């Protein structure tokens, strides 16, 4: 019996603009010229089409810094580390559910008691202060129906190093044209979603009808004179 061994190796997956290695040659040239600052390199490759996060870039730069024993440039503060915020009136810890609700509520709509909670949360959690500021600005972009500030908002959201807000900003950037259209254009698919409800129609006739009845429910009647 003959035995065969496959000696071919699987080809590595092709790199794409979501990976900083896609721009490795450019990054290496910048590094050679003395530019070792992560935030500068991030904006440089982003202008060349990079669609990944700054965290992925920093992982690559960390390897290069360790190889050359270079200290990182101004590491971002750990915004996730903070003291638990307490209700100034009761002294109880403010729950994450309450904090999330207060994070997106404009100051003008806050009663005095909630305003004091917001102040306590901002003092006790730098992450809350950052996310609330971004939330208020994003709300302003939506209400103004002007998307000019959206790109800058996405950049700042990614720079926060907060996982949830970074993921949200990355999703916005992934489909940026559709997001800008949703902000600026007056049209919406809300009417379609509200009137063409296939699941409701299916439940209404389940077990007692056939496709003919479903077609009759969905299609307009042909009125004859």
Residue-wise DSSP of the chain: ---------PPPPPP-TTSGGGGHHHHHHHHHTT---HHHHHHHHHTTT--S-HHHHHHHHHHHHHHHT-PPSSPPP-TT--PPPB-TTT-PBPPHHHHHHHHTS-GGG--HHHHHHHHHHHHH-HHHHHHHHHHHHHHHHHHHT--TTHHHHHHHHHHT--HHHHHHHHHHHHTHHHHHHHHH----SHHHHHH--HHHHHHHHTTT--HHHHHHHHSPP----
Indicate whether 183 belongs to any domain. no
Indicate whether 51 belongs to any domain. yes
Quick one: which of 214, 206, 146, 135 has its CA closest to 168? 135
Low-confidence ranges of the chain (pLDDT < 70): 1-13, 70-84, 190-197, 201, 205-209, 214, 217, 220-225
Full domain range(s) for residue 205 = 193-219
Q: Cβ(23)–Cβ(51) under 8 Å?
A: no
* Predicted local distance difference test score (pLDDT) of residue 76: 46
pLDDT per residue as tens digits for the range 139-198: 999 999 888 899 999 988 888 878 888 888 888 988 899 999 989 998 877 666 666 667
Indicate whether 83 belongs to any domain. no
Quick one: 52 and 101 in the same domain?
A: no
* Predicted local distance difference test score (pLDDT) of residue 16: 82
Tell me the two tokens of residue 164: 């949830």
Quick one: 103 and 156 in the same domain?
A: yes
Quick one: 119 and 167 in the same domain?
A: yes
Q: How far apart are the first and last CA of the chain?
A: 84
* Predicted local distance difference test score (pLDDT) of residue 6: 45
Quick one: 106 and 162 in the same domain?
A: yes
CA-to-CA distance for 6 and 188, rounded, in angstroms? 56
Quick one: 100 and 167 in the same domain?
A: yes
| 138 to 29, 65, 103, 157, 160: CA distances (angstroms) | 37, 36, 12, 10, 15
Indicate whether 156 belongs to any domain. yes
Quick one: 31 and 64 in the same domain?
A: yes
* Predicted local distance difference test score (pLDDT) of residue 135: 92
Quick one: 110 and 164 in the same domain?
A: yes
Indicate whether 74 belongs to any domain. no
Quick one: 135 and 165 in the same domain?
A: yes
| 72 to 59, 61, 119: CA distances (angstroms) | 11, 9, 33
Indicate whether 15 belongs to any domain. no
* Predicted local distance difference test score (pLDDT) of residue 137: 93
Indicate whether 206 belongs to any domain. yes
Return the residue matching tokens 């699941």: 199
* Predicted local distance difference test score (pLDDT) of residue 80: 45
Contacts of 156 (CB under 8 A, 6+ apart): 134
Quick one: which of 29, 74, 146 has its CA closest to 137? 146
* Predicted local distance difference test score (pLDDT) of residue 191: 66
Domain count, the chain: 3
* Predicted local distance difference test score (pLDDT) of residue 197: 67
* Predicted local distance difference test score (pLDDT) of residue 84: 60
Indicate whether 76 belongs to any domain. no
């Amino acid at each position: 019996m003959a035995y065969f061994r496959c000696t071919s190796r699987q080809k590595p997956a092709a790199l794409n603009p979501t990976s900083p290695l896609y721009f490795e040659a450019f990054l290496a040239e910048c590094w050679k010229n003395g530019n070792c600052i992560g935030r500068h390199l991030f904006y440089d490759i982003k202008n060349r089409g990079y669609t990944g996060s700054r965290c992925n870039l920093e992982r690559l730069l960390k390897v290069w810094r360790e190889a050359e024993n270079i200290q990182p440039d101004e590491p971002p503060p750990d915004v996730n580390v903070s003291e638990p915020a307490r209700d100034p009136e009761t002294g109880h810890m403010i729950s994450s559910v309450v904090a999330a609700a207060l994070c997106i509520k404009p100051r003008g709509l806050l009663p005095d008691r909630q305003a004091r909670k917001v102040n306590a949360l901002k003092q006790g959690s730098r992450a809350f202060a950052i996310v609330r500021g971004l939330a208020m600005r994003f709300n302003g972009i939506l209400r103004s129906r002007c998307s000019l500030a959206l790109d800058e908002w996405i950049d700042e959201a990614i720079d926060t190093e907060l996982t949830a807000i970074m993921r949200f900003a990355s999703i916005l950037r992934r489909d940026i044209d559709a997001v800008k259209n949703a902000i600026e254009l007056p049209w919406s698919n809300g009417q379609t979603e509200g009137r063409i409800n296939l699941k409701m129609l299916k439940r209404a006739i389940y077990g007692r009808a056939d496709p003919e009845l479903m077609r009759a429910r969905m299609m307009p009647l042909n009125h004859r004179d």
